[in-house]
Copies of this chain bind each other. A is one copy, B any other.
């Protein structure tokens, strides 16, 4: 018989490696805490396998489940001495989701389950607090009503607000036990009205309802969106954890809180967290009440006047500090914890690896290595390479004039400018149109995920450092200023009111998530100054990685950036980019219009000095390093004049009549330019173009200290390479003889067509290197035009046909198969073959992991992604050896 349910105590039998997959992150971590003898309320977990079963069997459960749940519930009753549905001593439970990885706020939770018209009286009697009992019951009805019965949150809120108005109070805390009874009666009446039946009184019915809702929430729209953004497979499923309730809201000796064992923004090693006295956990996370700091240090840092837990509950705080230390030693990582204090007793509800900013990730890794908690390799693995992106991009120019209009909490670092928008839908709409937006909300909720993802920055007027907006923004690497209390937002009129003035939607503001500043207009930015931690981490990465990292660059600026970020050469210099300069494009066009080889040569001669200067500049910057130069690749029509004005101008300067220009342009049209007359096909049909390019490269190289690597694009047969390599060699010989000196150089190929990969053994015989052009290789292997795929790719990702966009992360199964084959056969034919990749996948960590396993010698990516690639390559190298 399959075991579908594990109690926390018996779950220790599940090997720790499988625990997360089977029990979800939350369930697994509760079990860990139980084994560390930390105070965890008893409970059990229904495995993720039940979730898979649920969706594979038309939302039904395995037949053994009912019995197993009932037995596990009995075990809780036994261990805690309370009974589910017992009118005297009722057991209350929470029902929570828990996937293999954390998806904060994405799925449903039900608390206080087990209350009904009878048990509420039992709870009142046991707790000697009637008000607490009825408050709990109304919370339960509200949550269950919303999550399980799909009733509108607002319908409940309205009843509550009406009651407050009736009794003339403003705070929930001012409502009496009788008041809560009235609210409960109102709630129940509304439920009956809306659904046609009573709110369920049978506690087991309540439990199964909640379990079904949690499994159902795995496929909620917001969860699906979150998984897409975070690349979480559909198939993983969620577990459901049922745990006996503890109460942070049973009085002033109760509290609830969330904490990070270190500062998740900066990484500083101090106990960072928030708590609320007499509250339930969601009060902290939702950002409705302003939470108080755990520590005096934290209170001072934030300039808060509210007492720290350290002051208010010193004994429990001490206990919590011990827990912090035990957990960090056990997990060897910064933890994000939830706790509740019930009548002076501490309970741990959750621990998990804490989300952090890139800067914090670096600092925590570096600190933990010096604290000898982890070693350098483990430190490297702790950092999400993509997150470095945050550090590498410009920050606000400290010297710039700033019109600061408000300030909030520095919830997620980074600076961002953009148009104000007030809804997530609008944010997404404008972002799709290529506009940068700042999403401004009173507070955010999981429904805002798509808008937060689309926005350059997020501003909220309510909520703390652990509010939804703050946590999600940090996870996404978006700049965020939270809880900017001085600002109010009017959604209806689409304005933000700041110091009496109104700022309408569409106006531009700048936010600095590192300081909390909000500024009018777009503030200029400067290059980031990278921290010492960054250098330390990069140093470890460079020691750990096997693959070299190069950059794709052709301009001096890009080459300088790349070298600054540690690029070890240029892996792709696209020579055609040098042709678009206004001074040169005329000559390029003249070449295209030339009659025969002679005319083309004459036009090329005019281009030669400029292109040689470019190469000298590039080679000077890259001194001592290899530079891979790709010969002209795009089809000639890309250089043609566009529109009537350009055509007329060109015709005039070139002394051609306009009709000829138009006709020639029409002649160059191709049905499928991607598969057309481009790449080495140009070199084969117009050898003079490649000869000119080779000449300028060699003449420039003679002045500098580099090893030019000449790369022939779009090879499909070895014969093409043989013909063009001979052309390059003859040109080199000619230049060297005239100059009376030589430089060393090599000739290799792009592998960017399936046929080239299939024929690698042949091609390698005459190639010094292969560089995989994964953009085109993806297009041809999948028969998928990158320019046209947008029309159906979202449907493809949505229906699970592709897990990820194959232009972002390499299609390992298909394209990867060709790469592995080409590497194997190419090396077998030519032992000294150097193999790299210069497609855009070169900067994608998941792809880099594949390139490591495929045994590539180097990866080349855009300059700003070089540090990411260095780290990802190191991680891949470390993981490959495990």
Contacts and interface: CB of A to CB of B under 8 A. Distances in A.
B785 A671 contact: yes
B776 A783 contact: yes
A785 B755 contact: no
A814 B715 CA distance: 12
A755 B782 contact: yes
A784 B672 CA distance: 9
A672 B788 contact: yes
Contacts of A782: 716, 753-755
Interface string A456-474: 0000000000000000000
Given A719-B799, A792-B685, A799-B719, A787 B755 contact: no
A115 to B, nearest CB: 45
Interface string A791-811: 110011001111000000001
Contacts of A788: 670-673, 675-677
A785 B716 CA distance: 13
Contacts of A684: 792, 795-796, 799, 801
A18 interface: no
Contacts of A717: 801-802
A714 B762 CA distance: 29
A805 B493 CA distance: 67
A758 interface: yes
A760 to B, nearest CB: 11
A811 to B, nearest CB: 7
A723 interface: yes
Interface string A809-825: 00101110110000000
Interface in A667-687: 670-677, 681, 684-685
A782 B714 CA distance: 9
Nearest to A674: B672
Given A684-B799, A759-B813, 15 more contacts: A671-B674, A672-B675, A672-B785, A674-B783, A675-B780, A684-B801, A717-B802, A723-B799, A754-B818, A755-B781, A755-B811, A758-B781, A758-B813, A776-B783, A780-B783
Contact of A672 (B673, B719, B792, B802): B673
Contacts of A815: 755
Contacts of A783: 674-675, 714, 716, 752-755, 776, 780
Nearest to A753: B783
Q: Which 3 pairs between the two chains have the least Cβ-Cβ distance?
A: A675-B785, A755-B814, A672-B785
A802 B681 CA distance: 13
A770 to B, nearest CB: 16
Contacts of A671: 673-674, 785, 787-788
Contacts of A378: none
A116 interface: no
Nearest to A682: B792
Contacts of A719: 799-801
Interface in A481-500: none
Contact of A780 (B720, B780, B799, B802): B780
Contacts of A817: 758
A779 interface: yes
Interface string A294-321: 0000000000000000000000000000
Contacts of A789: 676
Contacts of A762: 813
Contact of A787 (B672, B716, B780, B799): B672
Contacts of A720: 801
A676 to B, nearest CB: 4
Q: Indicate the size class of the contact surface on chain A.
A: 35 or more
Contacts of A813: 758-759, 762
Contact of A754 (B787, B795, B814): B814
A800 B719 CA distance: 8
A791 B723 contact: no
A814 B780 contact: no
A788 to B, nearest CB: 4
Contact of A814 (B716, B785, B811): B716
Contacts of A787: 670-672
Interface in A31-87: none
27 contacts: A670-B788, A671-B788, A672-B673, A672-B779, A672-B785, A672-B787, A674-B675, A674-B785, A675-B783, A675-B785, A675-B788, A676-B789, A677-B791, A681-B796, A684-B796, A716-B783, A723-B801, A754-B780, A754-B781, A754-B814, A754-B818, A755-B811, A758-B781, A758-B813, A759-B813, A776-B783, A780-B783
Contacts of A791: 676-677, 685
Contacts of A784: 675, 716
Contacts of A796: 681, 684
Interface string A744-757: 00000000111100
A800 B681 CA distance: 14
Nearest to A814: B755
A741 to B, nearest CB: 29
Given A759-B813, A776-B783, A781-B780, A792 B677 contact: yes
A779 B675 contact: yes
A720 B785 CA distance: 18
Contacts of A795: 684-685
A815 B677 CA distance: 20
Q: Which of A671, A675, A676 has the most CB of B within 10 A?
A: A675
Interface string A684-720: 1100000000000000000000000000001011011
Contacts of A752: 783
Contacts of A675: 672, 674-675, 779-780, 783-785, 788
A850 to B, nearest CB: 15
A753 B778 CA distance: 11
A452 B789 CA distance: 47
A396 to B, nearest CB: 39
Interface string A186-207: 0000000000000000000000
A606 B783 CA distance: 32
A781 B753 contact: yes
Nearest to A722: B801
A758 B759 CA distance: 15
Contacts of A723: 799, 801
A572 to B, nearest CB: 18
A509 B20 CA distance: 84
A811 B753 CA distance: 14
Nearest to A784: B675
A762 B674 CA distance: 28
Which has the most chain B C-beta neighbours within 10 Å: A670, A758, A811, A813?
Answer: A758
A780 to B, nearest CB: 5
Given A792-B677, A799-B719, A800-B719, A785 B753 contact: no
A428 to B, nearest CB: 20
A141 B755 CA distance: 53
Interface string A108-150: 0000000000000000000000000000000000000000000
A782 B719 CA distance: 14
Interface in A802-854: 802, 811, 813-815, 817-818
Nearest to A779: B675
Contacts of A779: 672, 675
Contacts of A811: 755
